[in-house]
Structure 1
Amino acid sequence: MENKQLNLSEPENIMGTMDVNPLLIKLSIPMMISMLVQALYNVVDSIFVARVSENALTAVSLAFSLQNMMFAVGIGTGVGVNALLSKSLGEKNQSRANKTAENGLFLALCSYLVFLVLGLTVVRPYFYAQTADADIAEQGIRYLTICCVLSLGMFMQVMNEKLLAATSRTTLSMISQLVGAIVNIILDPIFIFGYCGEALSGTTGAALATVIGQFCGAGVSFYLNLRKNPDIQLDFKGFRPSAEAIKRIYVVGLPSIAMQCVGSVMTFLMNQILMAFTATAVAVFGVYFKLQSFVFMPIFGMNNGMVPIIGYNYGARKPDRVKKTIKCAMFYAEAIMLVGFLLFQFLPDKLLGLFSASEAMLAIGKPALRIICFHFLLAGMSIILSSTFQALGNGMFSLIISVCRQLVVLLPAAWLLSKTGNVNMVWWSFVIAELVSVTLSFVFFARLDKKIIEPMYDNAAAAQ
């Protein structure tokens, strides 16, 4: 493949010229919509599964830890590709941009092979380590085995969407997500309620609907990168994995993967704490994660628009645009979190009612949602700063914050509060952990501001 630099006479990418606020909105809105649709079909899965039985809902909740680890690898690798690709475009380095995209797709295939093996070997012991209820375990095993063994669509969809987002084509990324989500939503009731036969019903049907939707989204996003994305040229003739490109990707990607895997460990251990009270508490925790995705997913979508802007302007040495992007993103994130807080605080019974909640589930769930949502008011700032660290090539800070929040603070606090014998006390651990998280986030940002952003002003002044 011909290695070439971008022609410096070409008009600069809008990420370096367009006013930051409308640019952030332009790039983020499509991703926020697609993330909301993603959240919708995750919730729809659980809504339909809950109508099968509470055991089925609990099984899907227990599957979340390993399933989230799979997403962590896909998304974390994509974050590394996104940051490196957008920085390469900002530096006008077309050759590196192409190599990053090709190696990103190669890594997505490698990730799938890992989870194919895990799906065939560890799913059964994973479930029986969490519950002695054979019905819950077997429903979960069927669900998670399919999600792992047929996860190629998920890995390819995530990677191709990150390539589109990194080149500011977030509308195209939204289209591919919409295709996958709509297919999933249409197939959910068809499979789950047994219209394709009892063998494909229940949690098995939910898993099949999910993976079919992912393959459809992967096909669309790959086509869009080939035909509608001139900022990268994919050419796999004579392709050889590049150790240098993979190293650069994982310098940012590995901390992101580890950070999200920390969430899987937290969820697994939190389920153990809650299972000591009742399986219904585990189901409530699972429902909470589905519902909070409607609050967090739009912010993650905005991050997908924010990261390439920061990465591009970091590469182009434009510190004012970097700082303004962070400020705008933080304002919008806090506004979204405030809306989420109000919904969880005043409409918990309506939200739980979507999942056919029993009286026992409502008794645990209503106070749970009202308590946990207090951490929303702080989480928006933490999420934006965490993604900022990744965009500036310092993903290790994000990892440290995530480990401290979820393992060092949240789990010990939840375990200690569980000793009160009152499950409602456990939920306060989320608020305690978020206080620590946001404090660390601002401490680390002050350090990066002094080390990376401020020197860009000095360099610009010296060049004049």
Structure 2
Amino acid sequence: MNDRFMRERPILPLLLSMAIPNMVSMLVSALYNIVDSFFVARISEQAMTALSLVYPVQNLINAIAIGFGVGVGALISLSLGAGDRAAAENAAGKGLLLSTVHGVTATVCSIALMPAFLRMFTQDREVISYGTQYAAIAFSFSVIIMLGMTFEKIFQSVGWMKGAMLSLLCGCIANILLDPLLIFGLGPFPALGIAGAAIATGLGQCITLAVYLLLTRCRPLPIRIGRTRLRPDPQRDLRLYTVGLPAALSLALPSLLVSFLNALLAPYSPLYIVILGGYYKLQTFLYLPASGTVQGMRPVIGYNYGAGEAARVHRIYRYALGINGLIMAAGTLICLLFPRPLIGLFTDHPATLSAGETALRIISAGFLASTVSVTASGALEGLGKGPQSLVISLLRYLVVICPAALILCRRFGPDGIWHAFWITELLTAALAAWICRRALPAAPSPCSAPQKGI
């Protein structure tokens, strides 16, 4: 497999060819999240509340897996662009080894702490029982999650987007099919309730990893992954975390935000926790396609940055920004036109439907502005500038929204929290544009830089 196409192909076709498989993967992944919540909500509203409360910890584990994988993928792309294949192979091998360590640690800690974590937000014994039951099974697959995500970033870093798409699709489709069978006991399957949802998720993740392993044997990657590349190299190992840790923290911040907002909403009514949990399931359907664009952009922008192609770096970023803007505009329109049916996927309670309809319409006002923050963060990660990306995420998920939500909820109640979302997106977009403009490499003037195809 030749990786030079990331430097030589016209930018727009290249970016679309890298992004579209990721968009398809992310949309199916979002669909499985929606389906999972849809079936759990049919068990009871307490089960859906439990799933909403477990979500921040689940998202934290995924954040660690994805974030570290981003660090691995960025280092591989930068190394390949600079022509250092040995460094790329070292990053891949070390990434898989360290991901296993991360997975074992996440399993032990998350299962042990879950009962105390749930009691911070509810004293309902049924909710706590559902939550601990789901977590004990779902978090047992943490090693599988970590390895699967690292393989995904390795595949993406060398431009094999279709391989990554196939692996993820197989796991997500299996999960969607297994959910009703294991939750409700259709055919020969036992009715396992919320435990069935957790088992279906874990089995789907196992299938995804199995497909990655099968593909590497059928069609070897352009970089070798073996024990010979596992020799200690403190400088390169540190670089994995220099990009990976900020990326993981950026992805983990929504978990902290959800927990913070749940604490603000809980005194009003449990229905608002259901709404917030439902919104975060729905917003994955919007932001995951945008993430697909970002994931397609990262290896391309990193490769060209490593190769010294500053003009292409700027143009790649602008095209990604435009694609994500179209996605966010479509999401805004859907939420404004169909908020009630969307919230109806998670509840049939009239009061929850009415309040959820209002929440979606308010929050969606910030979707288009978030295009800048999402794309800028991804570009910075692809360039290996993890700390700058982290600053944008801190602004978006902590520094601005938490004080805004706290102040506005005291003045306007739960609706004030929904208004804090769009206010945060507008302020963060302005700051993200400034940060990204300073961090991107200086592009040569149009007069001195030959224009390559778009």
Q: In structure 2, give the amino acid aligned to 1:453.
A: A
- Superposed, which structure 2 residues align to 1:14-33 within 5 Å? 14-33=5-24
- Superposed, which structure 2 residues align to 1:79-98 within 5 Å? 79-98=70-89
Q: Given that residues 311 and 444 in structure 2 are in contact (C-alpha distance below 8 angstroms), is that contact kept between their aligned partners in structure 1? A: no
What residue is the counterpart of 1:453 in the other structure? Answer: 442
**Distance in structure 1 (CA, Å) of the matches to 2:85 and 2:398:** 41
- Superposed, which structure 2 residues align to 1:220-299 within 5 Å? 220-236=211-227, 239-299=230-290
Question: Is the partner of 1:357 in helix, strand or coil?
Answer: coil
The yes-or-no answer on 1:413 pairing with 2:404 is: yes
- Superposed, which structure 2 residues align to 1:338-349 within 5 Å? 338-349=329-340
405-414 or 23-32, which moves further after superposition? 405-414
What residue is the counterpart of 1:312 in the other structure? Answer: 303
The yes-or-no answer on 1:423 pairing with 2:414 is: yes
Q: 1:211 aligns with which of 177, 202, 215?
A: 202
Instruction: Give structure 2 stretches of 5+ with no counterpart.
Output: none
The yes-or-no answer on 1:177 pairing with 2:184 is: no
What residue is the counterpart of 1:377 in the other structure? Answer: 368
Shift of 1:420: 2.6
Q: In structure 2, give the amino acid aligned to 1:92.
A: G
Q: Deviation string for 1:415-463 (max 9, x for gaps)?
A: 11111353222200001111121111111112113xx3348999999xx
What residue is the counterpart of 1:136 in the other structure? Answer: 127
What residue is the counterpart of 2:193 in the other structure? Answer: 202
**Distance in structure 2 (CA, Å) of the matches to 1:371 and 1:238:** 51
**Distance in structure 2 (CA, Å) of the matches to 1:270 and 1:458:** 51
Q: Given that residues 91 and 240 in structure 2 are in contact (C-alpha distance below 8 angstroms), is that contact kept between their aligned partners in structure 1? A: yes
Would the alpha carbon gap of residues 87 and 105 (structure 1) be closer, same or farther in structure 2, given more than 3 Å must change? same
Would the alpha carbon gap of residues 456 and 236 (structure 1) be closer, same or farther in structure 2, given more than 3 Å must change? farther
**Distance in structure 2 (CA, Å) of the matches to 1:163 and 1:238:** 15
What residue is the counterpart of 1:146 in the other structure? Answer: 137
Would the alpha carbon gap of residues 424 and 225 (structure 1) be closer, same or farther in structure 2, given more than 3 Å must change? same
Q: Given that residues 118 and 148 in structure 1 are in contact (C-alpha distance below 8 angstroms), is that contact kept between their aligned partners in structure 2? A: no
What residue is the counterpart of 1:5 in the other structure? Answer: none
Would the alpha carbon gap of residues 11 and 292 (structure 1) be closer, same or farther in structure 2, given more than 3 Å must change? closer
Would the alpha carbon gap of residues 230 and 194 (structure 1) be closer, same or farther in structure 2, given more than 3 Å must change? closer
The yes-or-no answer on 1:186 pairing with 2:167 is: no
Would the alpha carbon gap of residues 221 and 72 (structure 1) be closer, same or farther in structure 2, given more than 3 Å must change? same
Shift of 1:71: 0.5
The yes-or-no answer on 1:37 pairing with 2:25 is: no
Q: In structure 2, give the amino acid aligned to 1:159.
A: T
Instruction: Give structure 1 stretches of 5+ with no counterpart.
Output: 1-9
What residue is the counterpart of 2:425 in the other structure? Answer: 434
**Distance in structure 2 (CA, Å) of the matches to 1:348 and 1:168:** 37
Shift of 1:154: 1.2
**Distance in structure 2 (CA, Å) of the matches to 1:227 and 1:244:** 33
Q: 2:55 aligns with which of 58, 61, 64?
A: 64
**Distance in structure 2 (CA, Å) of the matches to 1:444 and 1:455:** 19
Shift of 1:344: 0.3
Q: Deviation string for 1:157-181 (max 9, x for gaps)?
A: 1111111111100001000000100
Q: In structure 2, give the amino acid aligned to 1:47.
A: F
What residue is the counterpart of 2:109 in the other structure? Answer: 118
Q: Deviation string for 1:278-304 (max 9, x for gaps)?
A: 111000111101111111000101111
TM norm structure 2:
0.95
Question: Is the partner of 1:103 in helix, strand or coil?
Answer: helix
Shift of 1:237: 5.5
What residue is the counterpart of 1:105 in the other structure? Answer: 96
Shift of 1:11: 6.8
Aligned length: 450
**What is the aligned-residue identity percentage?**
35
Taking only aligned residues, the RMSD between alpha carbons, in angstroms, comes to 2.1
What residue is the counterpart of 1:353 in the other structure? Answer: 344
Q: Given that residues 15 and 296 in structure 2 are in contact (C-alpha distance below 8 angstroms), is that contact kept between their aligned partners in structure 1? A: yes
The yes-or-no answer on 1:364 pairing with 2:350 is: no
Would the alpha carbon gap of residues 359 and 117 (structure 1) be closer, same or farther in structure 2, given more than 3 Å must change? same
Question: Is the partner of 1:130 in helix, strand or coil?
Answer: coil
Shift of 1:242: 3.6
Q: Deviation string for 1:379-413 (max 9, x for gaps)?
A: 11210011111111211112112112221211111
